[in-house]
Structure 1
Amino acid sequence: MIDPCGFCGQSGHPVKLVKQKRTFQPQSSCPQAISFSLGVAANSSKASPSTNAPIHCQLCPVSSGDCAIFWKYNVHQHVTSSHDTSYESLLAGFAKEIKISQLEKEHFRIPLDLIDNSVQDDSNATAVASTSQNLLMKRRHQTLQGNTGSKRSKKV
């Protein structure tokens, strides 16, 4: 799967960031899409462990527009497959924006043997993204089924 949707995990649901007042709001054709705050999604917590949110690839030309928007968990794969650069040579701010923190990995209960804390290499990024995506999809499915007692946000 080249660019799985951050809502359902399937391909074919590109995401955009649409400016609304002073902030950007994710927008997708995914039937599982919900509205959420990008600011809140930027911080992992036990209650909301995922920081998977749409971000702009800072290596893509500005003229790319919506084509340069990727889910955070997919950006590393995009960078390594589409740009002639290594993870270590990314701009400091961009590298920080796409980094999956140790705390987030712990919140997702990713097995320690799948986590390489030295550098987020391709295999580690793929394992973390895949494991995190699967856990996130399971939790969202439970929420939609009413198993967590929380209410679903309005569709995007």
Structure 2
Amino acid sequence: MTTQENTHAHQPRLNLAQHAPEVYKAMLGLEMAARKGLDPVLIELVKIRASQINHCAFCLDMHTKDARHNGESEARIYLLNAWEEAPGYYTEKEQAALALTEAVTVLTDGFVPDEVFQRAAEHFDEKELSQLISLIIAINSWNRIAVTCRSVPGAYQPGTHA
């Protein structure tokens, strides 16, 4: 379905960057700090997976475009929603990061299971794990901003954000 055919298209509710510039600037700072030391491929996989869970079309549009721009394969992007059923497509480290992303994003029963955290700790040192957790927190915050403000997907082009 193209944008012209989509009769359910919505309009943005609010431009948070315009009306709360200090908050937006702080979010950009969190984003940049959280990315440090993490593999750019892993960053986009985490962002896409959290955005899938949070139903954030704007962020899915942005991060799938960024992933493709950075050389990510179509197959890995398409299979990400079912990564556990496609283990040959993702490294053990990526699988651990995706499991942690899901646990932090959903917070099943109000906590991140020990086995999920331990699995990630086996692949990331404490600094990397701290960065990964920060990245997951950042994308979840961006998802909530975009969904609440009804940011409209489609116009984003890779290379146009920090």
Q: Which TM-score band applies after superposition, normalised by the shorter structure?
A: under 0.3
Q: Which has the higher contact order (CA 8 A, sep 6+)?
A: 2
Pick the structure with more strand per residue: 1
TM-score of the two chains, using structure 1 as the length reference: 0.28
Pick the structure with more helix per residue: 2
TM-score of the two chains, using structure 2 as the length reference: 0.27
